Amino acid sequence: MEVGVIIHNAGAKASPENLLKTARWAEELGYHALWLTDHVVLKEAEEIKSWYPYRTHGRWDYPPDTPWTDPLLTLAWVGAAAPTLKLGTSVLVVPLRNPILLAKQLASLDFLTGGRVILGAGAGWMKEEFDFIGEDFDNRGRRVVEMVQLMRALWSGEMVDFKGEFYEVSGGQMYPTPVFGTIPVVWGGHSEAAIRRAARVGDGWHPTQITLDQLEAGVKKLRQYCEEYGRDPDSTLVIARPGDKYDITPEAHAKHLELGIDHLVVDTPIKQEDPDLSLLRERMERAAEVCGLTRRN
């Protein structure tokens, strides 16, 4: 099983120097991937009425002046410092973006980093962010699936003629293509719709902030839906990110292995005061030990 780590492109720790330092630590400690989060523009917390699915109280609690670097640009920055690690988004809010430009950005990042990109894709939850950018929130679920279909067509390197409900491309071709012909798309979310989306049109499922019991139930559903759609369940990745829902203990990790989790994403402290990154380093070291990672020289 591979193990990746969230490094902070958000909050007080999100300096160029800290990002490079953390990426190099991850490589040294034996991690397999770096993962970054995504938001584009924020409003005052009290103006956010959308239900935040990753807090029990459902309220967004980051101030609007929280530094939040673009995840794709930041992956290019840290990817050069840690050349053996995969580079993932956890998760990119895809429907906030133009699919053609996003396909180009992702293919270029993958090309420049030697085929290391994993697209953790989400439909998004914050309506206020969609409204600010001018993208439709209500159709985001259908639209995000079509966006990925269009991006995969562009990544093929073939001349693309695509006509969908939301997007139409005629006689267009995009190069460079991803190093391995495409970019793995793992779908975030743990709703029924999200799990079905992963089973139907995903290379994997990337649940975040769920309990071990929810993870076990979700894996069971994912395998069931893969069979319904005529897909091999074993070919669909499960990339789990517990967040703060449970600690990564030896017992929890044994459960990951029992469930056949392909990749575990470790969170590191976000809001705690940690000027010298000692808490972050300690968390990374502890998780690496529990997961049995082998240090690199």
* Stretch 20-41: mean pLDDT: 98
Q: How far apart are CA 136 and CA 121, in angstroms?
A: 17
- The pLDDT value recorded for residue 271 is 81
Q: Enter the DSSP assignment of 171.
A: E
How remote is the C-alpha of 130 from its chain's centroid?
Answer: 19
| Residue 270 pLDDT > 90 | no
* 160 SS3 class: strand
Q: Check whether the bond before 201 is cis (ω within 30° of 0).
A: no
pTM of this structure = 0.97
| Residue 106 pLDDT > 90 | yes
Q: How far apart are CA 242 and CA 264, in angstroms?
A: 8
Residue 39 near residue 129 (C-beta atoms within 8 A): yes
- The pLDDT value recorded for residue 196 is 96
Nearest to 135 by CA among 99, 168, 88: 99
* Stretch 267-289: mean pLDDT: 93
Residue type at 54? Y
| Residue 67 pLDDT > 80 | yes
- Average pLDDT of the chain to the nearest whole number: 97
Instruction: Report the run of H or E that residue 282 belongs to, with start and end.
Output: helix 278-290
**Residue in the structure block whose two tokens are 């989790």:** 261
Residue 136 near residue 130 (C-beta atoms within 8 A): yes
| Alpha helices in 53-207, H assignment, sequence order | 71-81, 99-112, 127-133, 140-155, 192-201
In angstroms, what is the C-alpha Rg of the chain? Answer: 19
Nearest to 130 by CA among 143, 145, 142, 140: 140
What are the residues facing 89 on neighbouring strands? 36
112-171 pLDDT, tens digit each = 999 999 999 999 999 999 999 999 999 999 999 999 999 999 999 999 999 999 999 999
- The pLDDT value recorded for residue 147 is 98
Residue 272's pLDDT band (boundaries 50, 70, 90)? confident
- The pLDDT value recorded for residue 194 is 94
Phi, psi angles (nearest 5°) of residue 125: -130, -20
DSSP assignments along 199-263, one per residue:
HHH-SEEE-BS--HHHHHHHHHHHHHHHHHTT--GGGSEEEEB-TTSS---HHHHHHHHHHT-SE
* Stretch 72-89: mean pLDDT: 98
| Residue 245 pLDDT > 90 | yes
Residue 81 near residue 20 (C-beta atoms within 8 A): yes
Residue 240 near residue 187 (C-beta atoms within 8 A): no
174-233 pLDDT, tens digit each = 999 999 999 999 999 999 999 999 999 999 999 999 999 999 999 999 999 999 999 999
- The pLDDT value recorded for residue 269 is 87
- The pLDDT value recorded for residue 51 is 96
- The pLDDT value recorded for residue 116 is 98
- The pLDDT value recorded for residue 129 is 98
| Residue 297 pLDDT > 80 | no
Residue 25 in tokens: 């630590």
Q: How far apart are CA 116 and CA 179, in angstroms?
A: 9
* Stretch 6-13: mean pLDDT: 94
